[in-house]
Structure formats: structure tokens, C-alpha cells
Chain A
């Protein structure tokens, strides 16, 4: 477990070792706040709820999370440091988990900075804090699933831009299939399969502040699956 911590610290430090980490957080806050207050017209709704904020999250994360993960493996491969990293006495899963947790840490820090919205709501009225906290937890689950997918895809290429675009595309498809089958209603059972697989349909409960064990299991499975694939892909370097 020590190695996981070491990698975690190294990666988290590297987010903040250049201005990019800070620029990212500021940009995220600008976009998400603008979306909430102006696009969704919070001030005309007359409700102190963050429902709109969280409803937009799958789409906002779609662009932001792949940017968090794109460098994690691609950069190591491009710079050749992957060879150093993987010839140090660590197990592959320790490196993968360390990187994942660092990305998670960075996402959590970014989300923490959105505290200004609940603070505003509390100033304006009496929001249901339980719902808000529940939604934040749900958002972290959703974000972690994105992170696991993005991290895996980053391990497939040495080009960060490619990692970003493919991650975005894969996540986009996993979101869309939650909506698209509704248009293809004739397909019957496939609709429910697609809905189950989609990252989006499991987030609907979350926006209401409900944390359903089925959704938790779903997100945990997605995270576990992609972390597992990631470890396998890193191990497979030995045989290429």
C-alpha cells in the first residue's frame, strides 16, 4: 500500500507543479457556475436547489475528466519514464491505483471549490443539505467512473490529445445510449440493457440526492472493470 501512496503523492503533486492544474480548476468553476447561474437561469427559478447543477454534471465532466486523465499514462509513455516507473519494485496494480486515486483527489479538490454554490443557496434560503451532500457523493462516483475509463484509454496511447478525444468519445457513447434507445423503442429488451449500461441513467437518482445501492454497485463495477483492464494492459507490455 506504501507504493500506492507514493504514486498518489507524485501524481497529485504533478497536477499542481505547473499552472495547468490551477487553470483547470478556475476554468471548471467558471464554466459550471456560468452554466448553473445563467444558462439554467437559477435566479428566476425561485428554488434553492442544486438539481440543475448536478443534472448538467455528466456533460460538464464529459469534457473535464478526460483532461484530468489524458496525461497520466500517455505522457509517461511518450517521455519514456514508463520504463523507469515499471522497473521500480512495484506491482502494476499499485501504480494504476495510485494514479487513479491521484486523479480522484484532483477531481475532489476541484469539486470542493464549487462550495460557493451551496454557500450562496444557504445565504438565499434553506436548501436541503442532505440532498446536496448526497449529490456530491454521487457526482464523485460518476466522475470516478469517467476517470477509470480515461485512465485506461490513456494507457493505450502515447499521445495525450488522442487519449483525450477517445476518452471523450467513449464516455459520450456511454452517456448517449441512456437516451438514444428511447427513440428506438421498438427494440424492446435492448432498451433496458442500454439503460443499465449507460452512465447517464444511473445518475438520475443522484440528482435527486438519492444514493441507491444499485447505482453505487454499477459505478463501482465500471471503475473496477476499467482499472482491471488498465492493469492488464500495463502487464501486456511485456509480451508485445
Chain B
């Protein structure tokens, strides 16, 4: 659905994105993750034909963003960063205007406006001036505008920034619903959002894609699951270290009464706590602690985007 190849954008001397390539399938919800200034917004601006790339190509639904911008624009609904809206219009007028620009025939405009008003829960503010609305409502008006023509692709640039936790939850559940039938690409620097909504994550840093995969894949990629145990027995550390399911066994501390605290990394990064437990039973070790900890997306993110 979205195909990006070798995309590069230079603003004067500075390189905003450098040779980015990725592919997004129909119906996928993809989170674009990265610190501020990583190149997320630039990528989105190119996809929406607001700016052109310095090099490389991008296409949406088979239409090139450079050669056929109008065709591309028809396919997408876009919510720009910080959600700009016309403050001097009321919600209905604004949505009607969007519908008109999107070429929805006048006989169907009212139905389209009513649909997005109910989808985005704007019923209470239909005739209010957008300038008088709260940030959460404005964001929803922005989303409603992006949905008015029922686009196949949604591009949302930081749809939750500046919202309170409840509003964030609302927007995320809306994205979740939309993702069932649409291709969605949304950017954020809040990791839990990506975990709960996205099928796949692209992590961008300094204009490069540094990692991509499902949230699970990314989490296991870092250091996998670490098993912590406190154990007492003869020669525990060497025996564990030579066990086939263990990649690395590290002593963290000497406990009291001959107990040892160890950290184990599984051979194929999986959770090996059960194997450890079985071995302890076999060898008659005393076990006072056994827990598995999977690296969070935060860890992965920090590892990939720092240094």
C-alpha cells in the first residue's frame, strides 16, 4: 500500500532523512517511532505530497507522490503535527468544507459529515467555533477531517501529543478501530502507544531506520528475556552456565546462607525459567527466587537511539 525506497530529504545543509526504505501492506497499522527531530514528520510530509524528497521515491496505492500527487492525496487522510484547524469556522462548516474539497457530491455531504461526527464523538460541539474548543476536541476535529472521505490510508502525525490520558486512550482506541479496515501510519515518541496499537513499528533515528518489526520482535531483539534466580547448591553457577539452554550465567551477588543471586540469558533469547526450575529439582537445589523479565520497548528504543 505504501512503498518507500531510498527516500532522502535535505533542508539546505542538514539531512533530515537519509536513504529510508520501507513497505507497508494494506490494512497494517504501523507506528513510526523516534525521538524529536528524527525525521518522522519529514517522512510523513513527503508521503502526503506536502514536500518533495531530494532523492528516492515514495508511492501510495501504486501512485507516485511526485508524479501523481492528486491521486495520492485522494487516497489519504492526513492529520498534521499539532493539528492545525481553522479557528474561525464551526465544526460542521469545516467538515462540510473538507467534504467539498474531497469531491464528495453535495447530496452525500451531510451523511459523510454526520458519520465522522459520530465516529469522532463530536456530537456535543457540532456548531461550536473550532477556536473555542479544547485541545482534545480539536484533535478529534482534525481526525474527523482526515476521515471524511473514508480514505484507504491514514497518516497521523503525533495524534496524541498534548492530550490528557483519557483523551489519549480515546484516540488510541479510535486508531485501533480504524486499523481494522484501513492502512494507518502514525508517529509518536510514546512507546506504550505503539505497543497497544501497532502491528508493526519502524524506529527512526537521525534520519535512518534503525529497526523495524512487530513490537514483540523488537522487544526480544534487545537482550531477550533475562531470568533472575536466587539459589543454593553445589557449584550452581558452573553447572547452569554449561547447561544447553543457557547462553550466559552471571553472578549478581552473594546472598546470605550460601545463596547466590544469578542472572541468566536463554540460549535463543527465550524465557528459560521452567528449564531452570526443572534443573533445580533434579539437582536438589534450594530456590528462593525465580523470575523472568522481558526487555521493554523502552529499553530497545533507548539502546537504538542513544549513542
A and B physically associate: yes
Chain B proximity mask over A3-27: 1 for CB below 8 Å, otherwise 0: 1001001100110011000000000
Is there contact, CB below 8 Å, between B73 and A87?
A: yes
User: Shortest Cβ distance from A76 into chain B, in angstroms?
Assistant: 9
Given A3-B101, A89-B74, A238-B52, 12 more A-B residue pairs with CB atoms under 8 Å apart are: A6-B101, A10-B97, A13-B89, A18-B88, A81-B86, A84-B85, A87-B78, A88-B102, A91-B70, A237-B50, A237-B51, A239-B52
User: Are the C-beta atoms of B50 and A17 separated by less than 8 Å?
Assistant: no
Please give the residue numbers on chain A whose beta carbons come within 8 Å of chain B beta carbons, in ascending order: 2-3, 6, 9-10, 13-14, 17-18, 79-81, 83-84, 86-91, 237-240
* Complex contact A14–B87 (CB within 8 A): no
Rounded to whole angstroms, the CA-CA distance of A239 and B11 in the bound complex is 8
Contact of A83 among B11, B50, B89, B93 (CB under 8 A): B50
Give the residues in chain A near B98, CB-CB below 8 Å.
88
Can you report 28 A-B residue pairs in the complex whose CB atoms are below 8 A from each other? A2-B100, A3-B101, A6-B100, A6-B101, A13-B89, A14-B88, A14-B89, A18-B88, A80-B80, A80-B82, A81-B84, A81-B85, A83-B78, A83-B80, A83-B84, A87-B50, A87-B76, A87-B78, A88-B73, A88-B98, A89-B70, A89-B74, A89-B102, A90-B101, A238-B51, A238-B52, A239-B51, A240-B11
Minimal beta-carbon separation of A117 from chain B (angstroms): 32
State in angstroms the CA–CA spacing of A153 and B97 once bound together.
26
User: In this assembly, does B162 line the interface, its C-beta being within 8 Å of a C-beta of chain A?
Assistant: no
In this complex, the member of A79, A87, A239, A240 whose beta carbon has the largest number of chain B beta carbons within 10 angstroms is A87
Say whether B48 contacts A87, CB under 8 Å.
yes
What number of residue pairs across chains A and B have CB atoms under 8 A from each other?
66
Q: B48: nearest residue on chain A (CB-CB)?
A: A87
Cα separation A17 to B94 with both chains bound (whole Å)? 13
Contacts of B81 in A (CB 8 A): 80
Asked if A79 and B84 make an inter-chain contact with CB atoms under 8 angstroms apart, the answer reads yes
User: Considering the chains assembled together, what is the distance between the CA atoms of A201 and B100 in angstroms?
Assistant: 43
- Smallest distance from the beta carbon of B81 to chain A beta carbons, Å? 8
Closest to A7 in B: B101
- Closest chain B residue, CB of each to CB of A89: B73
Closest residue on chain A to residue B84 by CB atoms = A80
In B143-176, the 8 Å CB interface with A consists of: 145
Closest to A16 in B: B88
How far apart sit A6 and B80, CA to CA, in the bound complex (Å)? 21
User: How distant is the Cα of A37 from the Cα of B81 in the complex, in angstroms?
Assistant: 53
Given the complex of chains A and B, what is the CA–CA distance between A6 and B98 in angstroms? 9
Residue of A nearest to B54 (CB): A239
Contact with A along B52-92 (1 / 0, CB 8 A): 10000000000000000010011010101110111111000
Tell me the nearest residue of chain B to A15, going by C-beta.
B88
Chain B residues near A14 (CB-CB < 8 A): 86, 88-89
B97-152 contacts to A (CB < 8 Å): 97-98, 100-103, 145
B263 contacts the other chain (CB 8 A): no
In whole angstroms, how far apart are the Cα atoms of A83 and B80 in the complex? 7
A17 touches B88 (CB 8 A): yes
**Complex: A238 Cα to B9 Cα, angstroms:** 10
Which residues on A sit within 8 Å (CB–CB) of B102? 88-89
A-side contacts of B211, CB under 8 Å: none
Of chain A, the residue at the smallest CB distance from B155 is A87
Whether, in the assembled complex, B49 has its beta carbon less than 8 Å from a beta carbon of chain A, the answer is yes
* Min CB gap B19→A, angstroms: 19
Q: CA A80 – CA B50 in complex, angstroms?
A: 12
What's the Cα separation between A235 and B193 when bound, in Å? 35
Q: Which residues of B contact A17 (CB under 8 A)?
A: 88-89
**In the complex, A81 Cα to B82 Cα: how many Å?**
10
CA distance A20 to B121 in the complex (A): 32
Complex CA distance for A80 and B81, rounded to whole angstroms: 9
B93 neighbours in A (Cβ, 8 Å): 13
The 8 residue pairs across chains A and B that have the minimum distance between CB atoms: A80-B84, A89-B73, A238-B52, A87-B48, A83-B80, A81-B84, A17-B88, A6-B100
